[in-house]
């Protein structure tokens, strides 16, 4: 669970800080879709926090929250791919996309290193 938490948070944080803002400047990338993606990162973090806060791992409550989280994440990943990232592929130059990809990977690595999926950090992100 810890590993999943870390990967999920690193994904959202790296996109928010390095990719989403940059993509908003491009025609052909729908700003509302980017906004929606941000909201879904927040929803994902909330669902993650709700799961991490269940004390009894494997309980019925834990199962339900895991399912909520899985749904939220798979919806986001699918929609992000079809809307934001496809928009970027069609409208942003290869060179600029490569730059954004590098910036994303760099921030993602920093997040992973800082153990971004730990409970206190997820709490902080949800309440910011």
Looking at residue 38, the DSSP 8-state letter turns out to be H
Of the two residues 62 and 73, which places its CB atom closer to Fe ion in the complex? 73
Of the two residues 54 and 126, which places its CB atom closer to Fe ion in the complex? 126
Of the two residues 62 and 69, which places its CB atom closer to Fe ion in the complex? 69
Nearest to 50 by CA among 101, 118, 2, 122: 122
Q: Which residue has the tokens 């954004």?
A: 100
Regarding 107 and contact with Fe ion (CB under 5 A), the answer is: no
Q: Which stretch binds Fe ion (CB under 5 A): 15-23, 45-53, 64-72, 116-124?
A: 15-23
Shortest reach from residue 43's CB to Fe ion, in Å:
9
CB of 29 within 8 A of CB of 92? yes
Which residues in the 61-90 window bind Fe ion by CB under 5 A? Answer: 79-80
Question: What are the φ/ψ torsions at residue 63 (nearest 5 degrees)?
Answer: -55, -45
- List contacts with Fe ion (CB under 5 A): 15, 79-80
């Amino acid at each position: 669970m810890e590993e999943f938490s870390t990967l999920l948070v690193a994904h959202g944080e790296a996109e928010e800080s390095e990719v989403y803002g940059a993509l908003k400047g491009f025609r052909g990338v729908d700003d509302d879709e980017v906004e929606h993606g941000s909201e879904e990162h927040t929803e994902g973090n909330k669902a993650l926090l709700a799961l991490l806060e269940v004390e009894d791992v494997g309980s019925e409550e834990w199962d339900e929250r895991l399912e909520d989280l899985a749904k939220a994440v798979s919806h986001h990943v699918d929609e992000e791919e079809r809307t934001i990232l496809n928009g970027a592929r069609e409208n942003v130059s290869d060179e600029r996309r490569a730059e954004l990809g590098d910036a994303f990977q760099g921030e993602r690595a920093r997040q992973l290193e800082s153990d971004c999926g730990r409970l206190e950090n997820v709490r902080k992100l949800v309440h910011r």
